[in-house]
Amino acid sequence: MNQTPYFISAIDTDVGKTIVSAILVEALKADYWKPIQAGNLEDSDTMTVQSLISNSTSQFYSETYRLNTPASPHYAAEIDGLQLEAHSIQLPKTSNQLIVEGAGGLFVPINDKALLIDLMQDLNIPVILVIKNYLGSINHSLSSIYALQQKDIPIKGLIFNGPSVASSEDYILQYSKLPLIAKIPELSAISKQTIREQAERIKLNLSGQ
């Protein structure tokens, strides 16, 4: 199977990147890494993903930056008296597939000069864009896609997460001409079993692209 790393980003905050990342990690038996964790250090996204994985292959790498405040990384770092250096954020060395989870959307500031989209460009790996349907999601989706394309960042495909709105999803797919990786329904419960079930659903889509 293809061992290309993927960067998981989203069109906004609270779109479901962490749950989608867990599903992708399980589907690919991939390793997982979140470069920047801001807030919730005792219940981090890395811990959440690790708790939802059933396979024994996946490895979990420590964050480059762990910040105490649940806020934009540049502000959380300021509160902690730190200066985040984008160049110090380097992909972990692994021979396995790697899922990299971002923080918020594309234009989240890392410091006073660099945004998350700049880190994506520096890491030079394909992006999987997570989309949730809400009022304004078409605009946010197409704006995000346009921004990635303007920086020549490859887009592996799109994942729609949560309740489906066919007209919005069809428009985004038709306009962007990007591949659909999966539509993940709103899960009534988040558990190892539900993550495993969704992973089985999307495994073929991932391996076939």
At 170, which helix (H) or strand (E)?
Answer: helix 166-176
DSSP 3-state assignment of 180? strand
β-pairing, 155-161 with 127-131? parallel
| C-alpha to C-alpha distance for 209 and 204, rounded to whole angstroms | 9
Residue linked to tokens 């480059």: 64
Q: Which amino acid is located at 196 in the chain?
A: R
Active site residue 34: yes
| C-alpha to C-alpha distance for 208 and 186, rounded to whole angstroms | 24
Which of 34, 132, 156, 203 is labelled catalytic?
Answer: 34
What are the catalytic residues? 34
